[in-house]
Structure 1
Amino acid sequence: MRNEQQNKKYIYTYVHHVDEFDLCRMEMRAFFNLDSEANFIISHVDVEPSRSPFIEDRLEVLYEENSLDNIKKLLKHFIVDAKTYKVVCLNTFDIGNTKKIAQPERRVIERELGLLIEGEPDLDHPEVVFGLLLLDGRWYFGVHSKSESIWRKHLHKPYSYSTALSTRVARAVANIAVPQPQNIRAIDPCCGIGTVIIEALSMGMTIEGRDLNHFVCQGSRENIAYFGLQGNITLGPISEVTEHYDVAIIDLPYNLFTHSTREDQFDIVKHARRIADKVVIVTIETIDDLITDAGLVIVDRCIAKKQRFLRQILLCN
């Protein structure tokens, strides 16, 4: 990473259901190598906010001051490269210990700052959006990026089954497995109808899928094509995989159509270790002993909840 990128500061705000707290924090650790109990994180790491199902906003900080007046003074000399812009205040909900700013006050602040900037404001279709954020008594101004819930577009597939991962969980699992996609090759050798594959491909990850069931493979291919994505899905067991990958994502089979014994599970985990340097395992059963016996070490973990249904997400090296 270049020095100028390392010197940048980003503030990410988060929104998630209480049942997603554990999964959200594990994804946060994967992205930023740290996490926060609060609903925001400050980092020098640049993550496209739409990658996460939990990130709400990203602010690339340009100025930070102890008072709004000081921000205003700086904006009098601020030069906008884009033809049009607008300013939004991001305090639309409680962030950490900082209470929400009421809408009328936000609108006044946005208008005051917008008038200070030299350029052409455009509230409907601006080329750039600037954000203002009050956090723990300090004001931050910068370039704002709003997260788009891309995973919602993948909810309705031509083929699906009830026990498959939700698109939100699948997207977070893909991010935990591949937080930085550049030059990373991944495989999902028990891909089912392609829920993880679709999320990974939509984020630009290089990933292949595989499954034992011919009809499931065909369904996965059609699901991928339905969303205009391109991915390779092959038929066969993980034991026949000869190539090596940086990461393997394993959602262990557990539904009525693909019941697996503990011996089957151990065989899958053992081969996952053989074909990949890092393995992310999704399981409804505790299989720590199988992972240890296969020569893997669990380096991070969480519980993904869906009402009373619990899944363990295990990151292994």
Structure 2
Amino acid sequence: MKMHGSRGVVQITSEIRLIIKDNPFIIPHLCCFMRLLFYLSGEHPLLAEAEVRALFETYEQPWKTLFFDHQVAIYEVDFFPELSRLSMTHQVLNLDFSLEKKTFRVRVKRILSDVNSLQLEKKIADDLQKEYGGLPVDLETPEQKVYCIVQKGKEFVGRTVMDFPYMYEERKPQYRPYFHPSSLHPRIARALVNLGRCKKEVLDPFCGTGGILIEAGLMGLTVKGLDISEEMVTGTKQNLEHFGITDYQIFQGDAGNIESYFSEVDAVVTDLPYGRASRIVSSGNDLYFEAFQSIREITKRACIVCPHPYNFESQDFTVKERFVLRVHKSLNRYIYVLS
């Protein structure tokens, strides 16, 4: 597949599979929609692509998947501002772009490709100059950014419509007022909230130090939490307030009896404790069974991270998607998107 010039004309070869995902928001013809390319994280591309689709569904955007391979996913969809919630996407490019009489810059990103970036940047810039009649170039602070991704020898050229500065390091667990080493990386925590299709609020019944709730709160969602440890509850409140999040309800309580604290929620997103941190209900019985039953009572949507595989169908859940997140050599976490 090669995108030529500023119009992003697509040439689809036999090497490319045109994938149309089965989803409730597809419409037969999307002729008025643009083709957006999402340059995905290379660390977990399947999870990153699922996060994009989850936001389409959350905000009821009709969409069609045109192409997905490794770090490049292309959809026929309208642009909407809530895409700013994405945590596992580097850039969003409009393949059907045009340029204005303003400054511009061309950059090339190589992914599993051997290409001379400088030569390709010059060629694309020259082509655009010919088409638009001498646009001014600004390599430092351009008003328009043209980006070319070369992945496995295929070129994708588009105009950047959304960029995602990497700001997660400052929110890592060790930089919060209350620290516990078991907390998820904030980028993964945010992706889980998006996978949970959370639009207004989110509940974490094993909130720990509040890592998931911090990311949800920073996205403007109402956050609710529960933890059996009084120390964790206090620490979660400290961490939320540290990041300016005040719209929260956090209680000390039993995850096997969530409905006593929250009768109904938009969605549940949680990372189950494991090892020494796994005391999460007071009874000592099958703590996961009790907690999952309670979650089923209060919501129809959930994204749950487990320390080992779990049969959620036995709890009357439907497993929409499942991912394996490798933590280190001897530890995996299993992400379930449930309805």
Aligned residues: 290
Q: Choose 138-147 or 301-310, whichever is displaced more.
A: 138-147
Q: Which residue of 2 aligns with 1:281?
A: 304
Counterpart-to-counterpart distance in 1, 2:140 and 2:123 = 18
Other structure's SS at 1:62 match: coil
1:298 pairs with 2:319: yes
Query: Does the 8 Å CA contact 1:131/1:144 hold for their aligned counterparts?
Result: no
Q: Structure 2 length as normaliser, TM-score? A: 0.72
Query: Does the 8 Å CA contact 2:267/2:300 hold for their aligned counterparts?
Result: yes
Q: Which residue of 1 aligns with 2:118?
A: 104
Counterpart-to-counterpart distance in 2, 1:198 and 1:126 = 33
Query: Does the 8 Å CA contact 2:37/2:73 hold for their aligned counterparts?
Result: yes
CA positional deviation for 1:231: 3.6
CA positional deviation for 1:111: 4.3
Of 181, 200, 203, the residue aligned with 2:216 is 200
Consecutive unaligned residues in structure 1, runs of 5 or more = 64-74
Q: Structure 1 length as normaliser, TM-score? A: 0.77
**Superposed CA offset, 1:76-108 (max 9, x none):** xx534xxx432223x32126xxx3542321442
Query: Does the 8 Å CA contact 2:68/2:74 hold for their aligned counterparts?
Result: no
**Superposed CA offset, 1:9-62 (max 9, x none):** 101122323xx3553354355346868342200013447666444322210122
Q: Which residue of 2 aligns with 1:39?
A: 71
Give the letter for the 2:72 counterpart.
F
Q: Which residue of 1 aligns with 2:207?
A: 191
Question: Greater helix percent: which structure?
Answer: 1
Consecutive unaligned residues in structure 2, runs of 5 or more = 1-24, 58-64
CA positional deviation for 1:139: 5.7
Q: Which residue of 1 aligns with 2:10?
A: none
Q: Which residue of 2 aligns with 1:162?
A: 181
Higher RCO (C-alpha 8 Å, min separation 6): 1
Q: Which residue of 2 aligns with 1:61?
A: 95
Counterpart-to-counterpart distance in 2, 1:145 and 1:190 = 33
**Superposed CA offset, 1:102-135 (max 9, x none):** 2321442364256454665443333443334567
Of 71, 74, 79, the residue aligned with 2:100 is 79
Of 51, 54, 64, the residue aligned with 1:27 is 51
**Superposed CA offset, 1:186-229 (max 9, x none):** 21122111111112222333432232322212211221222233
Counterpart-to-counterpart distance in 2, 1:249 and 1:269 = 12
CA positional deviation for 1:283: 1.0
Query: Does the 8 Å CA contact 1:114/1:121 hold for their aligned counterparts?
Result: no
Other structure's SS at 2:325 match: strand
Query: Does the 8 Å CA contact 1:201/1:207 hold for their aligned counterparts?
Result: yes
